[in-house]
C-alpha cells in the first residue's frame, strides 16, 4: 500500500497535480528536463488527464504549455478532451481543443513517419476496411483506402473522411498528396478543386488543408460538444487470442493453409474480439438528453440485442439524489491521495464528476489470412502511412488500432 512519500517518488507530477500546485509543477518541469510528462498512473492516467479530471485548470495549462499529449486515453477509453467537456467549462475546453489540433498537425511528426518509408520499395495497395456489426454497424462504415508510394512521395485516397460534430459520417472523395521538399496538396474530386502549399509544409498550411472551413468557429464547436453526448469506440485488445485454424477430420487435422489472390496464406482464428461503444451524458441538460437519446437502440428490443450478441449496460449517477459541495464536485467520493493511488481494480469509486454512461459490447470471432511472403511489410511500410493519416481521420485511427494488435507473422490478406 503506497504512502504519500512513495506516491511522490513514483509519480512526482501526479503528486503535485493532486495537491493543485501549479507553481511547483512549473518549477519541477523547468528543473527536470528528463521528466516523464506522459507517465501513467495505475488508472492509465497521464498528469494532464489527472489534472483535467480533477479540474485543476492552472495545472492543465502548465502541462499544455509543455506540450503534454491531449489525445491519450485512460482505463475507461475516454481522452483528455472528453474529460474537459465534462467540466462544462468553455475556456478549459477551448484550451484543450486548440492544443489537440496543434498536436495533430505537427509537421515534425508527419515527416518523421514519411522518412521511415522513403527508402522502401515503391508500391500501390488497396485496403478495404469493412467492420460492421448488427445494430451498431452505423458507427463502423466501410471504405477502401488507396495508397500510392513512390520514392519520398505519397498519395492516399479515401471517401470516408471522419466524423462530424453531431456523430454523423463525413463522406467525400479526397486525395492527400505529400511530395518532395515538404510540399503538400489535397484534391477534392467532388468539388473539383485542388489546394496547394506555397513552399514548405507548415502548421498553418496543414490546418488550412485539413480543416473544414465551415467548422472554423471554435466557440460554435465548443457549444456543439456541450450539447451532444461524449462517445468513444474501441477494440479491447486484451482478450484477443490468435490460433491456427485447422482442417481435416478429427484425428487427422492439420494447420489450414489457403491461397488468396495468388498468395499462400496461413489461416488463423481470432477469438474473443471485444468491440466496445461508450456514451456519456452527465454534462448534458435533461432536454439535451431527451433530444439526443439513441433512437436506434431504443427501438430495438432487449431480446433482439441478446440474440445478436450485443450486451448493454447503463450506469446511472450514484449521486443523483444528493447535493455535492463545490469542493467535491470533481471528487464526489472524497478520496484522499493515498486512497486514490491504492484503489483496486474492483473498486467502483473514482475521481471526476459523477458519470452517466451507456456501454454496448459485442464479442465476436474472425478468421484472418496471413501471408508471410507478401512483398509489403505491414509494420515497416503500411503502419507509418496509417500513423500519418490517423491524425486526420478517426477511421484511420481504428485501422491503426487494428494494425497495432499482436497479429501473427505476415501481412493480413483478408479478414472475415
Of 280-294, 301-315, 381-395, give the range with the top mean pLDDT: 280-294
- Domain spans of the chain, in order of start: 4-104, 107-220, 229-325+355-415
pLDDT at 311 over 70: yes
More reliable by pLDDT, 197 or 377: 377
State the Cα–Cα distance between residues 190 and 124, nearest whole angstrom.
Answer: 23
- CB neighbours (10 Å) of residue 254? 9
Collapsing DSSP states into helix, strand and coil, what is residue 398? Answer: helix
Angle between helix 218-226 and 90-104 (nearest 10): 110
pLDDT of 220-263, one tens digit each?
A: 889 989 999 999 988 877 788 899 999 988 878 899 999 998 99
User: Which range among 203-207, 309-313, 378-382 shows the weakest confidence by mean pLDDT?
Assistant: 203-207
pLDDT on residue 178:
82
User: Which range among 259-273, 353-367, 391-405 shows the weakest confidence by mean pLDDT?
Assistant: 391-405
More reliable by pLDDT, 8 or 218: 8
pLDDT at 135 over 70: no
pTM above 0.85, yes or no: no
Residues 6+ apart with CB under 8 A from 284: 226, 227, 228, 229, 292
**Is 163 exposed, middle or buried, given 0-12, 13-18 or 19+ CB atoms closer than 10 A?**
middle
Average pLDDT, the chain: 83
Question: What is the pLDDT confidence band of residue 386, given thresholds at 50, 70 and 90?
Answer: confident
Nearest CA-CA partner of 37 in 45, 47, 28, 27: 47
State the Cα–Cα distance between residues 226 and 294, nearest whole angstrom.
Answer: 17
pLDDT on residue 134:
46
State the Cα–Cα distance between residues 122 and 381, nearest whole angstrom.
Answer: 10
Q: What percent of the chain has pLDDT over 90?
A: 45
Of 231-240, 269-278, 314-323, 328-337, give the range with the top mean pLDDT: 328-337
State the Cα–Cα distance between residues 338 and 25, nearest whole angstrom.
Answer: 19
Collapsing DSSP states into helix, strand and coil, what is residue 110? Answer: helix
CATH of 4-104, one of 3.30.70.20, 1.25.40.20, 1.10.645.10, 1.10.1740.10: 1.25.40.20
Question: What is the pLDDT confidence band of residue 384, given thresholds at 50, 70 and 90?
Answer: confident
Alpha-carbon distance values, 117 to 113, 152, 173 (Å): 7, 8, 25
Amino acid at each position: 500500500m503506497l504512502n504519500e512519500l512513495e506516491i511522490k517518488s513514483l509519480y512526482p507530477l501526479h503528486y503535485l497535480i493532486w495537491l493543485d500546485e501549479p507553481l511547483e509543477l512549473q518549477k519541477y518541469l523547468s528543473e527536470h528536463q528528463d521528466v516523464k510528462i506522459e507517465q501513467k498512473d495505475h488508472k492509465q492516467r497521464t498528469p494532464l488527464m489527472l489534472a483535467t479530471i480533477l479540474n485543476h485548470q492552472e495545472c492543465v495549462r502548465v502541462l499544455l504549455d509543455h506540450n503534454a499529449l491531449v489525445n491519450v486515453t485512460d482505463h475507461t477509453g475516454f481522452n483528455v478532451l472528453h474529460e474537459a467537456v465534462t467540466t462544462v467549462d468553455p475556456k478549459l475546453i477551448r484550451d484543450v481543443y486548440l492544443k489537440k489540433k496543434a498536436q495533430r498537425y505537427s509537421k515534425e511528426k508527419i515527416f518523421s513517419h514519411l522518412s521511415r518509408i522513403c527508402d522502401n520499395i515503391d508500391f500501390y495497395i488497396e485496403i478495404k476496411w469493412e467492420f460492421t456489426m448488427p445494430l451498431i454497424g452505423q458507427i463502423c462504415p466501410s471504405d477502401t483506402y488507396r495508397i500510392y508510394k513512390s520514392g519520398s512521395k505519397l498519395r492516399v485516397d479515401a471517401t470516408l473522411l471522419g466524423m462530424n460534430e453531431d456523430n454523423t459520417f463525413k463522406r467525400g472523395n479526397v486525395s492527400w498528396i505529400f511530395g518532395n521538399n515538404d510540399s503538400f496538396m489535397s484534391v477534392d474530386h467532388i468539388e473539383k478543386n485542388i489546394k496547394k502549399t506555397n513552399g514548405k509544409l507548415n502548421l498553418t498550411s496543414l490546418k488550412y488543408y485539413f480543416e473544414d472551413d465551415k467548422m472554423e468557429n471554435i466557440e460554435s464547436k465548443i457549444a456543439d460538444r456541450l450539447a451532444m453526448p461524449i462517445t468513444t469506440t474501441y477494440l479491447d485488445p486484451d482478450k484477443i487470442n490468435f490460433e491456427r485454424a485447422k482442417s481435416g477430420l478429427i484425428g487427422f487435422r492439420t494447420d489450414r493453409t489457403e491461397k488468396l489472390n495468388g498468395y499462400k496464406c496461413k489461416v488463423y482464428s481470432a477469438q474473443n474480439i471485444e468491440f466496445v461503444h461508450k456514451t456519456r451524458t452527465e454534462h448534458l441538460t435533461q432536454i439535451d438528453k431527451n433530444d439526443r437519446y439513441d433512437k436506434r437502440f431504443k427501438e430495438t428490443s432487449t431480446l433482439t440485442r441478446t440474440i445478436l450478441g450485443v450486451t448493454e449496460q447503463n450506469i446511472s449517477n450514484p449521486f443523483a439524489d444528493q447535493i455535492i459541495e463545490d469542493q467535491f464536485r470533481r471528487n464526489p467520493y472524497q478520496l484522499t491521495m493515498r486512497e486514490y493511488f491504492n484503489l483496486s481494480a474492483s473498486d467502483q469509486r473514482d475521481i471526476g464528476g459523477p458519470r452517466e454512461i451507456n456501454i454496448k459490447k459485442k464479442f465476436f470471432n474472425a478468421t484472418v489470412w496471413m501471408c508471410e511472403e507478401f512483398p509489403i511489410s505491414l509494420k515497416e511500410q503500411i503502419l507509418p502511412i496509417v500513423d500519418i493519416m490517423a491524425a486526420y481521420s478517426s477511421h484511420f485511427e481504428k485501422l491503426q488500432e487494428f494494425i497495432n494488435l499482436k497479429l501473427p507473422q505476415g501481412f493480413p490478406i483478408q479478414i472475415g
